């Protein structure tokens, strides 16, 4: 039977469309001002940069037959943060388009159970900015003195990397005696690049009489690193406090789950389905990530043991995620039903018949409207916060997921798990539970919201409390996610 809506429900739909339209307009217009991105010019894709890396190795007489290849997108997050905070985003973007080549495609060639391997880093513009030839410590080679080895390094910089040696200030030499050769590491500073107390460094490693390594990096002042670590420690402290409260809340949920199991008042089948979906999505995501994880393979281990270990950890983690969701649903649903009996029944909604009800349809409409609303809310919040001195690292508009086979699996998991876990633990359970403990509905709602919001404190945003305030205020402005949208909708529409 088709769903028949009342005039009141049509008005709700119209209001939702209006809210969504206005919110979308605000979000589209101001989003990039609130959440700026680091500028990356992807002239070459990962696949297109691989031939550049292979040619670099071939020019050095290196043959890659029999080697396995794996590649990732790579950059130093510490360097990115340092440049953003000391130079500003606009100048950082200018620097990374020029002398500070931060963004790289990292290509690795290896053979299982063989120490010798090769790595080449290529910028999205097609420039080689990193090279490493891992050599056995006992491999034979020349025993050059530092002066002779430095001549080889400078020839490499001049002829291969096309660097102007007059722009490089020599800093230091490190020499290490190997059983059958002598290795040297030379470091220069680039004079023409002003990074305040930091500096752009260039390193060349000469093993025996062969250039075995090349590296470009930003030398970050130790005092700045200590100051930033101290700043971040406030985020960590807020995170720890929220996690302690989370543990206490979880212990209360466990006690109630045991009691409800004894009374046979736990929706075991419903919780099992939620847990199964969680485990399946997580495991598929781990399988999808294998090509990225392969980049970290240690050649001292057998390849088969690496694969087996990865699969084992993936299965155990997937089962753990599923068990956690089973626990959350099983312990929170009875408490929710007992305290919000006039609102929707989660048990009833999780069925084909429940999904076809008018109340679910209206909840879905309100949920979509709230999605757009929170898009605008976050945009406005951070526009205001940024003007008042708040800071968040610029987004990087690339992820290695884009080069995997089924990247959408993590998108589904990233929406499903928070929607279930946060709605169940911090709304369906925490709000009525804390209301009973504190004897105040308002206090229970506020505490539940801010426990959840300050669990986001580990983000690098500054000041340390900004994410807690943003998420907490948003939680009071109107619950997010499917479950909460159902609660909102049922303030107008009873379950039918």
Last residue of a domain, one of 221, 254, 284: 221
User: Is residue 2 a part of any domain in this protein?
Assistant: no
Give the model confidence (pLDDT) of 336-348 as tens digits.
989 987 777 777 7
In a domain, residue 339? The reply is yes
Nearest to 378 by CA among 259, 267, 472: 472
pLDDT digit string, tens, across residues 374-406: 999 999 999 999 999 999 999 998 889 888 999
**What are the phi and psi torsion angles at 52 (to 5°)?**
-65, -45
Do 199 and 228 fall into the same domain? no
Query: Is 78 within a domain?
Result: yes
Chosen domain end from 200, 221, 242: 221
pTM, whole model, 2 decimals?
Answer: 0.89
Domain extent at residue 267 = 7-35+224-489
Q: Is the dihedral of CA 291, 134, 171, 59 positive or negative?
A: negative
The two tokens of residue 207 are 């093993």
- What are the tokens at 463? 């000041």
Average pLDDT value for residue range 468-495: 55
How far, in Å, CA of 249 to CA of 257, rounded?
A: 12
Coil, strand or helix at 161? coil
Residue 41 domain-assigned (yes or no): no
pLDDT of residue 348: 75
What pLDDT score was predicted for residue 1? 53
Res 92 pLDDT > 60: yes
Same domain, 180 and 66: yes
Residue 416 lies inside a defined structural domain of this protein: yes
> What is the C-alpha separation between 22 and 2, in angstroms, rounded?
30
Q: Are residues 243 and 371 in the same domain?
A: yes
Q: Verify that 280 and 255 share a domain, yes or no.
A: yes
Tell me what pLDDT residue 489 has: 37
Angle between the 430-438 and 303-339 helix axes, to the nearest 10 degrees? 50
* Same domain, residue pair 296 and 434: yes
φ and ψ of 353, to 5 deg: -65, -40
Same domain, 60 and 11: no
**Bridging pattern class, strands 128-134 and 68-74:** unpaired
Q: How confident is the model at residue 479 (pLDDT cuts 50, 70, 90)?
A: very low
Please indicate, yes or no, whether residues 372 and 474 belong to a single structural domain of this protein. Answer: yes
- Number of domains making up the chain: 2
Q: Does residue 245 lie within any of the structural domains?
A: yes
Looking at the structure, do residues 248 and 211 belong to the same domain, yes or no?
Answer: no
Same domain? For 246 and 151 the reply is: no
CB 333 within 8 A of CB 428: yes
170 and 259 within one domain: no
Of 192, 154, 160, the closest CA to residue 173 belongs to 154
* 149/232 same-domain check: no
**Helix 77-87 × helix 222-262 angle, to 10°:** 120
Give the dihedral sign, CA 241/242/247/251.
positive
Determine, yes or no, domain membership for 261: yes
Reported as a pLDDT band with limits 50, 70 and 90, residue 103 is very high
Q: Is the pLDDT of residue 483 over 50?
A: no
Spatial contact of 92 and 396, defined as CB atoms under 8 Å apart: no
Which of 205, 221, 237 is where one domain is finished? 221
Q: Which two tokens stand for residue 259?
A: 């009691």
Is 203 a member of any domain? yes
pLDDT at residue number 281 = 98
Q: Which of 421, 420, 416, 409 is nearest to 314 (CA)?
A: 409
3-state helix, strand, coil in the chain (%, to 5): 60, 15, 25
Q: What confidence tens digit (pLDDT) does each residue in 232-283 have?
A: 999 999 999 999 999 999 999 999 999 999 989 899 999 999 999 999 999 9
Are both 481 and 466 inside the same structural domain?
yes
Half-sphere exposure of 34 (CA within 13 A, CB side): 17
């Amino acid at each position: 039977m088709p769903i028949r809506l009342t005039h009141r429900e049509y008005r709700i739909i119209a209001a939702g469309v209006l809210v969504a339209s206005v919110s979308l307009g605000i979000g589209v217009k101001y989003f990039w001002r609130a959440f700026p991105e680091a500028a990356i010019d992807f002239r070459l894709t990962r696949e297109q940069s691989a031939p550049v890396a292979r040619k670099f190795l071939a020019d050095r007489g290196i043959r890659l037959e029999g080697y396995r290849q794996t590649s990732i997108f790579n950059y130093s997050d510490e360097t990115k943060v340092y440049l953003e905070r000391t130079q500003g985003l606009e100048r950082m973007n200018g620097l990374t388009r020029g002398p500070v080549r931060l963004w790289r495609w990292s290509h690795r060639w290896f053979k299982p159970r063989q120490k010798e391997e090769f790595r080449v880093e290529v910028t999205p513009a097609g420039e080689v900015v990193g090279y490493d030839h891992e050599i056995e410590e006992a491999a034979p080679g020349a025993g050059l003195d530092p002066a002779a080895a430095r001549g080889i390094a400078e020839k490499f910089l001049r002829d291969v990397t096309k660097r102007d040696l007059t722009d490089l200030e020599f800093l230091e030499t490190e020499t290490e005696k190997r059983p059958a050769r002598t290795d040297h590491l030379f470091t220069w500073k680039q004079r023409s690049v002003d990074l305040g107390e930091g500096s752009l460094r260039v390193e060349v490693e000469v093993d025996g009489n062969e250039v075995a390594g090349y590296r470009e990096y930003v030398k970050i002042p130790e005092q700045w690193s200590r100051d930033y670590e101290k700043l971040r420690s406030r985020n960590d402290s807020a995170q720890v406090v929220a996690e302690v409260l989370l543990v206490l809340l979880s212990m209360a949920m466990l006690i109630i789950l045991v009691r409800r199991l004894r009374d046979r008042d736990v929706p075991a089948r419903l919780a099992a389905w939620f847990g199964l979906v969680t485990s399946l999505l997580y495991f598929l995501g781990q399988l999808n990530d294998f090509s990225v994880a392969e980049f970290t393979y240690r050649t001292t281990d057998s390849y088969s043991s690496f694969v087996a270990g990865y699969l084992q950890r993936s299965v155990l983690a997937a089962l753990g995620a599923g068990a956690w969701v089973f626990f959350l649903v099983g312990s929170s649903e009875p408490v929710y039903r007992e305290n919000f009996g006039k609102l929707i029944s989660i048990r009833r909604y999780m069925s084909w018949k429940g999904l076809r009800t008018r109340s679910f349809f209206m909840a879905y409409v309100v949920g979509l409207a709230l999605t757009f609303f929170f898009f605008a809310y976050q945009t406005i919040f951070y526009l205001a916060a940024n003007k008042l001195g708040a800071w968040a690292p610029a987004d990087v508009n690339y992820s290695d997921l884009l080069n995997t086979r089924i990247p959408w699996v993590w998108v589904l998991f990233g929406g499903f798990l928070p929607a279930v876990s946060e709605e169940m633990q911090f709304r369906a359970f925490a709000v009525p539970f804390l209301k009973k403990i504190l004897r105040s509905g308002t206090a229970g709602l506020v505490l539940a919201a801010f426990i959840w919001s300050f669990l986001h404190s580990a983000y690098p945003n500054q000041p340390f409390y900004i994410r807690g305030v943003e998420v907490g205020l948003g939680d009071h402005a109107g619950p997010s996610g499917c479950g909460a949208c159902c609660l909102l909708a049922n303030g107008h529409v009873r379950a039918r």
